């Protein structure tokens, strides 16, 4: 059982105990019309107050043997007995009694549902998971969207080995929580993930990792999501962008990945990025060892390329002005992004997208979204990432960059003038 489940069970039982213990002798006598029963109930309460549980139980059994008791009186006796059982940690017996009391003609609809919930919780604590699941499912027939019951049903089914049933109930709980605009508990999402792993459902495993990352952007979740998405078939261009995102998140830890990212940056005309990547790898000691001299030569080459880039960019800008296609503008924007000249990058990339006829439109949208993000315009960044087509191979990257924008600080710049949709 998770910590959250244990806390929920204990809180529910504690609330019941406090409610029972708060009743005075006078209240006990007034609770039922039969004076003889009231006498035994008062006696049981006093004995329980002294923790004389066996004697209290005997008094309650005497109350049960009083003839001609009405349904309400029998119901009250049963409630007192559940208290004595729970105080002795006889959870399975208390659960069975709560389940029986849920059928009482004297109980209201709310009382019946509450007793079923307590029965499921106590069966759970007694490690009778099949019974806990059965009672929770019975209660859900009347309260199909009750979060506590959905959690109980999911947890108990999981512990009973019914992973498909557990996944169905926990997924229902997560969906209901998100529909309310709330965040599912991390333990709930982890239980859902474990259920899908047991079922070997790769699609749902990936989807649940995405949810964990979206709601709880921790390094371990970033690592798992990036590994899953990067392992999917992509073009080399998209593979490069996944490496760039890993570097941005701080998840790049293999020399081969540093080398591929640096070389890719140089090939794309972004030597400044190559310099940052190689300096980072060398600084962290990841590129140390026998191959370090080679990486230092690579760094020197990238630094030399940065010195050439201003003249090349100037020449490209002149060509872009004459071009009817936006391809050169997108290329220049990518270079400006590498040079951390974000306003120029945004202007060039927007111009390229608006001109059209791009070889890789969604790549330009990713670049523009990152430029907005680096510039502090998180809302525009998210809108640009959202414009990547759902069936595009760039869509997974766009969604992950959008999550990165959620982690960023709020917009620090005033909104730009509205322009043509990208």
| pLDDT given for residue 411 in this prediction | 57
Helix (H) or strand (E) holding 215: helix 202-215
Per-residue pLDDT tens for 80-117? 999 999 999 999 999 999 999 999 989 999 999 999 99
Q: Are residues 245 and 365 in the same domain?
A: yes
> String of b and e for 185-202 (b: at least 16 CB within 10 Å)?
beebbebbbbbbeeeebe
Q: Is residue 275 in a domain? A: yes
The domain boundary, picked from 141, 166, 194, lies at 141
Q: What's the CA angle centered on 150, arms 146 and 152, to 5 degrees?
A: 120
98 and 238 in a single domain? The answer is no
Q: Are residues 239 and 137 in the same domain?
A: no
Which token pair is 234? 């992509």
Question: How many angstroms separate the CA atoms of 273 and 268, rounded?
Answer: 10
Same domain, 109 and 239: no
Question: Any idea what DSSP says for residue 5?
Answer: H
Both 264 and 385 in one domain: the answer is yes
CATH number at residue 393: 1.25.40.10
Answer yes or no: do 114 and 239 share one domain. no
398 plus 291 within the same structural domain: yes
Q: Are residues 253 and 130 in the same domain?
A: no
Structural domain count of the chain: 2
Based on the fold, state whether residues 135 and 235 are members of the same structural domain: no
418: left (phi over 0), alpha (psi -120 to 50) or beta: beta
Please choose, from the candidates 340, 221, 371, the residue with its C-alpha nearest in 3D space to the C-alpha of residue 273. 340
In a domain, 174, yes or no: no
DSSP per-residue letters across 250-300: T----HHHHHHHHHHHHHTT-HHHHHHHHHHHHHTTTT-STTHHHHHHHHH
Structural domain that includes position 385: 229-407
- If asked whether residues 233 and 137 sit together in one domain, one would say no
Query: Would you say residue 70 lies in a domain?
Result: yes
Same domain, 270 and 403: yes
Tell me phi and psi for residue 250, to 5 degrees.
90, 25
d(CA 405, CA 419): 21
Residue 35 is predicted with a pLDDT of: 87
Contact 37, 66 (CB under 8 A): yes
Q: Which parts of the chain sit beneath pLDDT 70?
A: 1-31, 309, 409-422
Q: Is residue 214 part of a domain?
A: no
Residue 354 lies in a domain: yes
Quick one: 236 and 378 in the same domain? yes
pLDDT at 47 (0 to 100)? 94
d(CA 174, CA 85): 34
User: Given 98, 116, 141, which residue is the final one in a domain?
Assistant: 141
Residue 52 is given by DSSP the state -
Domain presence at residue 160: no
Q: Where would I find the beta strands (DSSP E) of 120-257?
A: none
At residue 328, the pLDDT reads 92
State which of 84, 115, 141 marks the end of a domain.
141
The pLDDT score that the predictor gives to residue 30 is: 52
Q: What CATH number has the domain bearing residue 84?
A: 1.25.40
Distant-in-sequence, close-in-space partners of 319: CB < 8 Å, separation ≥ 6: 328
What is the DSSP code (8-state) at residue 392? S
Look at the pTM and tell me if it is higher than 0.85: no
Whole-number pLDDT of residue 2: 45
């Amino acid at each position: 059982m998770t910590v959250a489940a244990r806390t929920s069970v204990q809180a529910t039982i504690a609330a019941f105990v406090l409610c029972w213990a708060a009743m005075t002798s006078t209240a006990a006598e007034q609770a039922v019309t039969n004076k003889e029963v009231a006498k035994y109930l008062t006696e049981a309460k006093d004995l329980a107050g002294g923790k004389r549980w066996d004697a209290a139980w005997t008094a309650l059994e005497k109350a049960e043997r009083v003839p001609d008791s009405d349904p309400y009186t029998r119901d009250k006796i049963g409630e007192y007995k559940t208290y004595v059982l729970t105080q002795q940690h006889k959870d399975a017996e208390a659960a069975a009694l709560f389940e029986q009391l849920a059928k009482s003609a004297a109980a209201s609809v709310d009382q019946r549902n509450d007793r079923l919930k307590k029965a499921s919780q106590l069966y759970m604590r007694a490690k009778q998971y099949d019974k806990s699941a059965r009672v929770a499912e019975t209660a859900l027939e009347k309260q199909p969207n009750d979060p506590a019951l959905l959690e109980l049903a999911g947890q108990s089914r999981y512990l009973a080995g019914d992973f498909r049933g557990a996944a169905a109930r926990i997924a229902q709980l997560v969906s209901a929580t998100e529909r309310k605009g709330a965040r599912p508990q991390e333990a709930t999402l982890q239980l859902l993930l474990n259920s899908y792993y047991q079922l070997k459902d790769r699609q749902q495993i990936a989807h649940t990792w995405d949810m964990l990352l979206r709601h709880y952007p921790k390094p371990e979740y970033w690592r798992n999501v990036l590994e899953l998405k990067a392992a999917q078939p992509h073009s080399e261009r998209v593979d490069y962008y996944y490496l760039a995102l890993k570097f941005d998140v701080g998840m790049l830890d293999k020399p081969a990945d540093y080398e591929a990212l640096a070389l890719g940056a140089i090939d794309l005309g972004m030597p400044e990025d190559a310099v940052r990547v190689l300096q980072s790898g060398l600084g962290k000691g990841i590129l140390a060892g026998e191959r370090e001299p080679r990486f230092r030569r690579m760094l020197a080459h990238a630094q030399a390329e940065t010195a050439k880039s201003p003249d090349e960019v100037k020449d490209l800008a002149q060509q872009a002005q004459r071009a009817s296609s936006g391809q050169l503008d997108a290329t220049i924007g990518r270079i400006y992004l590498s040079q951390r000249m974000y306003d120029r990058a945004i202007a060039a990339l927007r111009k390229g997208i608006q001109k059209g006829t791009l070889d890789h439109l969604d790549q330009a949208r990713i670049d523009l979204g990152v430029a907005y993000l680096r510039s502090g315009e998180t809302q525009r960044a998210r809108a640009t990432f959202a414009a990547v087509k759902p069936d595009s191979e760039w869509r997974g990257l766009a969604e992950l960059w959008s999550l990165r924008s959620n982690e960023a600080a709020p917009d620090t710049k005033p909104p730009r003038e509205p322009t043509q949709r990208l």
